Amino acid sequence: MIGIDTNILIWGLDQNPTPGLEHMIELAKKFFHHVAEDRVHVVIPAQALAEFLVRNTKEERDDAIAKIEEAFPIAPLDVAASCLAAVISSDRDHCKKVRATFGVTRNCFKADINVLASVINYGASRLVTGNGPEIKALARGKIIVETLEEYVANHIKPKVPQSPPGRHQKEMFGGSQQSVVEASPKVRGKPPAAAQVDRTPSLDGYWMLGYRPQPHPMRTMFQISPAIQR
């Protein structure tokens, strides 16, 4: 399970990044496509959700909340997560060092601790964020922390188009274009249609590939933000 920070929501849903970070929109598209196709479980910490929603009007907030709650589980800042946040904050010397090194304001630093505590308590093994260096230093190995650029580079492989059968493959099957199933004397006929994955394009997010994820039904930004389809 992967936790995502506020920046990922902004780049993926609003597509309105800080000047100079426009390239993050394309990376966010790749990330959410990967989440859908590989059935990756994603959780949003309550702190990140609050930071994202403060940018919107009431009508936009209501619409975003309805769609996000349907698409992703929310990691709450409950009693257990609050206790973990207190433990992280209690190492005052380390916290002061991180703040001084990366120039993080007190409020932003508290928010980062809340995000970190919520996703760790929820059971996430990784946090993808736009504030990689300071949160990595703050996490101290309690959870894997990666920036969006790092996650895309390390975990999302570019798709390679399949090549048509080569000369030797054609010769093996008598020069025809029949499939291995049709050519093999041990197998008669094609696999039943039920065994084939329905890849009909759909805006229904996670269901676009013909299956439902477990245990958390989750949809991608295909439904939440139609612009990502472009």
Look at residue 80 and tell me if it is in a domain. yes
Q: Report the distance separating Cα 196 and Cα 204, nearest Å.
A: 19
Phi-psi region of 140 (alpha: psi -120 to 50; beta: other; left: phi over 0): left
Structure tokens at 229: 């389809």
Query: Is 173 contained in some domain?
Result: no
Which two structure tokens, joined as six digits, stand for 159?
């798709």
Domain extent for 46:
2-153+206-229
| The predicted structure's pLDDT at residue 155 | 92
Question: In the chain, which stretches have pLDDT less than 70?
Answer: 160-230
Instruction: Tell me, yes or no, whether 186 lies in a domain.
Output: no
For the question of whether the overall pTM of this predicted structure is more than 0.85, the answer is no
d(CA 29, CA 58): 26
**According to the model, what pLDDT value does residue 172 have?**
44
Residues 138-152 have pLDDT tens digits of 999 999 999 999 999
Q: Is residue 118 part of a domain?
A: yes
Supply the CATH number for residue 111's domain: 3.40.50.1010
Q: CA-CA distance, 50 to 92, in Å (whole number)?
A: 26
Decide if 38 is inside a domain: yes
Quick one: pLDDT at residue 69? 87
- Sequence-distant (6+) residues with CB within 8 A of 173 are 180, 183
Q: Is residue 100 part of a domain?
A: yes
Number of domains in the chain: 1
